[in-house]
Structure 1
Amino acid sequence: MLVKSVYCKTVLCRSRIYGVDYAINPYTGCLHGCAYCYVPSTLKRLPKNLEWGQYVFAKINAPHVLMKEVRRVGKGYVLLSSVTDPYQPIEKVYELTRRILEVLSRKDFPIVILTK
């Protein structure tokens, strides 16, 4: 298992999912490793020598980056975690999902949360 802190340049991504304008993924990877998960089939590459469910990268600056991004974009529906679980066990340590929700709620963005 690999858990690593990383920095991101952007966090709010335009989405092509019906009914959703933006997607945010506070983590890359997921430690649940669910057999029924659709995400591994959508990935172009995995970290070297790691299977899905064996790694997660926490985007530790995501809430700060998001604060800047929400000032520049129009309001729209945000899907939180289209390719990861926002409430996997490491959320207790990083609290990225919680802090992202705080930023979005202050700016009145409608939020949809996808979780296990």
Structure 2
Amino acid sequence: MARAATTSDVFNAIAEPQRREILALLRAGERPVTELARELGMTQPGASKHLRVLREVGLVSDRKAGKQRLYGLDARGLRPVHEWTGGFERFWNESFDRLDAYVQDLSRQSRKRSSR
């Protein structure tokens, strides 16, 4: 099966580590591309390419502010990721509940043996 284009799917877009780093930086607020590039140790054109992908999948918005363009996080685009990972959260919670019950059972058995 052919892989979806990076710019058509939020999962493919955030698969790239530098894009996830950009999103993490934008949690603190809007930033110009030059600042993002400097923070990430990449070129401005490289940062711009990543921002374009993030903008096209709806994770980043931009606006003109004087002579520069500011980029900001639009976390609403992460909803599909949040919904998908929610199933795994339930899985882990249930797994930890089973582990806790197992440990409690072992503890009871150990106390019974030591009281004999």
Give the TM-score taking structure 2 as reference length.
Answer: 0.30
Q: Determine which structure has greater relative contact order: mean sequence separation of CA pairs < 8 Å that are 6+ residues apart, divided by chain length.
A: 1
Structure with greater Cα Rg: 2
More helix by share: 2
